Amino acid sequence: MSRLSPRGNHKKRSRSANLKNDTDLSGYPSLLKPHWIVFGQKIKVVISPTEVIEEGTGRILAGNYSYLDKRITLNGTLPPEEMVRTLYHELSHALLNRVGLVQTDMTKDQHELICENFSNWIFETFG
């Protein structure tokens, strides 16, 4: 049984005004569910209607995982296949956070390398 599993087919609106319309996942690949469960922790998936900008650097990102908010935000301007790849990458971040590897002495580059390789393996194996 997979520890990364989609949760629910229902649409749920955010209570935050600036996220009001970005949880409508209709028209996106079936893997893009509103919630995923990662080792017992519910992770919300939000598709941003605009580009995702990294705080502090201003870089445009494909996606972002917030461990504080337990939320993955995907760049809604990406093609569907890239969005799925990005979802796997961000779920990898959630997984590493959940099992405690984020609290180690790993550098950000090492963390990104692990997530990228793991997400590529997931995509190549399961689509």
More confident residue, 111 or 30: 111
pLDDT digits (tens, 9 = 90+) for 69-107: 999 999 999 988 899 999 999 999 999 999 988 778 889
Q: pTM of the predicted model, to two decimals?
A: 0.75
The DSSP line for 66-107 is ETTTTEEEEETTS-HHHHHHHHHHHHHHHHHHHTTGGGSS--
Please check whether residue 28 is in contact with residue 40, taking contact to mean a CB–CB distance below 8 angstroms.
no
The pLDDT assigned to 22 comes to 46
Topology at the third CATH level for domain 4-126: Arc Repressor Mutant, subunit A (1.10.10)
Compute the residue count for the chain: 127
